[in-house]
Structure 1
Amino acid sequence: MDWRDLCKHKLTTAEEAVKLVRSGDTVSVATYASTPLTLCDALFERGRAGELTGVRVDHPAPLYNWADPAANGAFDLRACYLTPQIREACNSGAVGYIPVGIWKSYEVPAGFELEPDVFMVPVSPPDAKGYCSFGSGVWMSGPLSRNAKKIICEVREDFIRTYGENYIHLDQIDVMVEATPPAAGQAAPAALNSEEEVAATEVICSLVASELVNDGDTIQIGVGTVSSAMGLFLAGKRDLGIHTEVLTGGIVDLVKQGVVTGRYKKLHPYKVVATGVAALPQEELNEIHENPVFELYDFGYTDDLRIVSQLENFVAINNALLVDLTGQVTAESLDHRTYSGVGGQSVFMIAASYSNGGKSVSVLPSSSVPSSTGQRVSRIVPVLPTGCSVTVPRTFVDYVVTEYGIAELRGKSIQERARALVAIAHPEMRPELERKAAELYHA
């Protein structure tokens, strides 16, 4: 039976479906690559037409610009992770950014509504028993689908199915629509790295793999220009486990090669655990589809400090934007301007610091050359700029790695930290950093 026949009593157009939203409602929208673009377009058009006012949109990492002036101010967006679609609007005050660092199982974080009036989410067609999958990303869809007053689903026929808690039953859904192909510019943006950044990434990931990851470790890999590549450099290891937020490239191949087995994981042994999947090629998604090794859970479960800290030999590897000479890390802001978000980085780095045999690792190129100036700047700095957010306190940063080496910070004094970090800075930047280290920290 065609899925449309099974769902015909719930199936409607996107324009009709979003009529469930009324002025003054709170609407939660599935996050990042799971953004239901067909429904978003239809709801936005109601704002453009002047049919709605005062609609609060909870969209944690939106691939949709709810702050576009064409919406006539109909939507009040709240987000906890900035994407290119809303970064400028957020830093001009048009978006309510919520710095979230506390995640709890089966809850949504403070600042977002657990029981929204409407929840909009993409799903797979239902199976023979009426269950739909959230595809390659559960995110917060579990608790929201259990608590929202109305649920509108956008059906994506290309969605994979996974094990874990990646499902919703037809009985929970109020209305369904067929997804239309996304317009240009709506899909998740791909990072474009320079040749210098690619070369630095290769050195950094090779250093982490050879010096800081041991056989039998359980790994978390963060999203970022350097850290996302980490899975491509672990082929020489044995019996690794994976407990992470977003499943990045290379992990599928490591499972196929027998490198990732999860043999020594205390929680979910022999399983790869995540809440979502990065933009992977279709052949890798096909490997994950209905593969019992891969389990996707709610964001609040994968990123719950109380759960993650139970893992032994847990190695958290995350991207940094800047690191100061005492070890403070920002991964979310440049000066006072928010760039991305906290995500699970703080949780994972803290958990790794507490883990028996664990390590928290911050990775970044030593410098960058902004296109706006063409002048090289150090990403290891004497102090974080005024207004810059601290994503990971220096108390939970064990190692910092650039293409010039590894700085071990755990158990080191401020002076020792400063000297270690100067040593892995870009050579052109070291004389000035040495001067500031002596001036500020007597290093």
Structure 2
Amino acid sequence: MATAPSQHRGEKSGIDWRAQLGAKLVAADEAVAHIKSGDRVCLSIAQQTPFELCPALAGRLMELENVVVNHGAAVMNWDLPGLGERFRLESMYLSPYDRAIYHRGAADFTPIVYYRAGHLPPALDNFNVYLMTVSPPDEHGYCNFGEAQIMSKLLARNADLVIAEIDKNSIRVGGDNSIHISEIDYFVERTTELPEIKLPQPGEEEARNIATVCGMVAKELIPDRATVQIGVGSMSGMLCNHLLNHHELGMQTEIIPLHTAPLVEAGVLTGKHKQLFPGLVVGAGIAPLTPREELDFIDGNPAFALYDFNTTDDIRFVAQEEGLISINNAMAVDLTGQTNGESIGPLMYTGTGGQTAFVVAACLAGGKTVIVVPSSSRVQGRRISRIVPVLDSGSVVTSPRGFVHHVVTEYGIANLKGKSIRERINELVAIAHPDFRSELRAEAKRLYKV
């Protein structure tokens, strides 16, 4: 996997990158004028959303017909005139910006659960236009994908029209995280200053539960020298704060979680014992809302590397990381260990991401899988159990029960590996919220005859 030349941000380098781009540097309206009726347009995700190009494209959608817009983890509200008539919206991962559109049936969700290095997954392999965000080019003409590569290089190389929005504040991260200006048709300079969004702070009960669960996982399930994958989420995403007393950990993940940088800086996360990319923290992107000071530490730091999602989440590849520990979130876990990490009943809430791939890979690698979940939540003032007799009708099974080794709530750790249904039920009821344990046991007897 080739690594393109890397350096710090273009604005700091003194390079006249605008002159370097020449006639390829155009206004956003001019760039999207090349999109035509019948095109299938894909956009880079989350914090790498092209914020200048999105409104420019939106302004053209009433002029076009039969256009598909695919935007995963969108930071853009696509609830626009013409939705469902002149253009169709698709996603493989919902966000707070577009969840309501999908819930009312005005857009299409496409499940994607497996990845092969070097290949776009089905449903993303047929787009002819790609809009993305990149850094200014370096002196060799390479733009960096910054905080999130995900599938940008493959999507760009498979598209007929590639438009890149330049973010002058972009960091540069190593790995396979750059693309040459010769592979991009048009560039647009971002002129809008984006507001700084702070990470939402949990309530008192949620914060206490997060601290308890992460503390147990760190102490009981992650030994020194382990290599971990940590999923994005309000609970697992806080795990790094609890690993500062560990030694010589490694990280082979999909999205590099919050507060990873302090672990590298403190010498905790060394990657010394990794089989894959020893010495490196590897992912396909960095968690959204990572604090600026952490991004500044990652910027140009040779300890971090980003690769294509189809590489980082290829089960065949990840399973080579012997002893890998996979830690992920859940919406709900049933009494046999089936885990729903992405939907509320049949309605999608987020998407599969890499959870399925990593729990399978960790098992094949002889490691362990950990699902973290609060025992209960409050919904419209009513407490509900997150440990349930059966998953709600239509719920997605993100992690099949045979691949779930441990489930952790604030009440303890359930060990499911190698256990019978009866034993699994006993383990899971024991870590459920006390208000629901009697009900769960009664339902277990009715449903599972145990």
TM-score range, shorter chain: over 0.9
CA displacement 1:292-341 (0-9 Å, x = unmatched): 11000011011110100110110000000100000010011111211111
Q: Among residues 368, 385, 388, which one is paired with 2:392 in the alignment?
A: 385
Mapping for residues 7-46 of structure 1, pairs under 5 Å: 7-46=21-60
Query: Does 1:132 pair with 2:143?
Result: yes
Q: Greater CA deviation, 278-287 or 119-128?
A: 278-287
Tell me the equivalent position of 1:76: 88
- AA in 1 matched with 2:357: V
CA displacement 1:97-145 (0-9 Å, x = unmatched): 111111111222111235x322111110110111110111001101112
TM-score by length of 2: 0.94
Query: Does 1:328 pair with 2:338?
Result: yes
Shift of 1:64: 1.9
Q: Is the 8 A contact 1:325 1:417 kept in 2?
A: yes
Q: Which runs of 4+ in 1 moved over 4 A?
A: 187-192
Tell me the equivalent position of 2:117: 105
Q: Among residues 295, 310, 320, which one is paired with 1:310 in the alignment?
A: 320
Mapping for residues 78-227 of structure 1, pairs under 5 Å: 78-114=90-126, 116-181=127-192, 190-227=199-236
What count of residue pairs does the alignment treat as equivalent? Answer: 435
Mapping for residues 259-338 of structure 1, pairs under 5 Å: 259-278=268-287, 279-338=289-348
Structure-2 separation of matches of 1:306 and 1:61? 26
Structure-2 separation of matches of 1:188 and 1:46? 28
CA displacement 1:182-228 (0-9 Å, x = unmatched): 677xx889444221111000000000000000111110010111000
User: Structure 2 vs 1, CA of residues 350 and 188 (structure 1 numbering), >3 Å: closer, same or farther?
Assistant: farther
Structure-2 separation of matches of 1:68 and 1:418? 47
Q: Among residues 404, 407, 412, which one is paired with 1:400 in the alignment?
A: 407
Q: Greater CA deviation, 89-98 or 341-350?
A: 89-98
Q: Percent identity?
A: 45
User: Which 5+ residue runs of structure 1 have no aligned equivalent?
Assistant: none
Q: Among residues 57, 61, 78, which one is paired with 1:66 in the alignment?
A: 78
Q: Is the 8 A contact 1:58 1:113 kept in 2?
A: no
Q: Is the 8 A contact 1:237 1:259 kept in 2?
A: yes
Q: Is the 8 A contact 2:280 2:305 kept in 1?
A: yes
Q: Is the 8 A contact 1:67 1:75 kept in 2?
A: no
Q: Greater CA deviation, 28-37 or 410-419?
A: 28-37
Structure-2 separation of matches of 1:190 and 1:334? 24
Tell me the equivalent position of 1:244: 253
Structure-2 separation of matches of 1:411 and 1:72? 48
Structure-2 separation of matches of 1:328 and 1:24? 41
- AA in 1 matched with 2:177: N
Structure-1 separation of matches of 2:31 and 2:443? 60
After superposition, the CA RMSD in angstroms is 1.5
CA displacement 1:49-105 (0-9 Å, x = unmatched): x21111112223222233433658332122111111111111222111111111111
Q: Is the 8 A contact 1:407 1:424 kept in 2?
A: yes
Q: Is the 8 A contact 2:245 2:268 kept in 1?
A: yes
Shift of 1:23: 0.5
Structure-1 separation of matches of 2:193 and 2:115? 30
Secondary structure of 2:60 counterpart: helix
Secondary structure of 2:282 counterpart: strand
Secondary structure of 2:52 counterpart: helix
User: Which 5+ residue runs of structure 2 have no aligned equivalent?
Assistant: 1-14
CA displacement 1:4-49 (0-9 Å, x = unmatched): 12112211100000011001011111112211111011000111xx
Tell me the equivalent position of 2:19: 5
Structure-2 separation of matches of 1:438 and 1:420? 15
Structure-2 separation of matches of 1:390 and 1:189? 32
CA displacement 1:231-273 (0-9 Å, x = unmatched): 1111111111101111111211111111111111111000100
Structure-1 separation of matches of 2:79 and 2:154? 26
Tell me the equivalent position of 1:346: 356
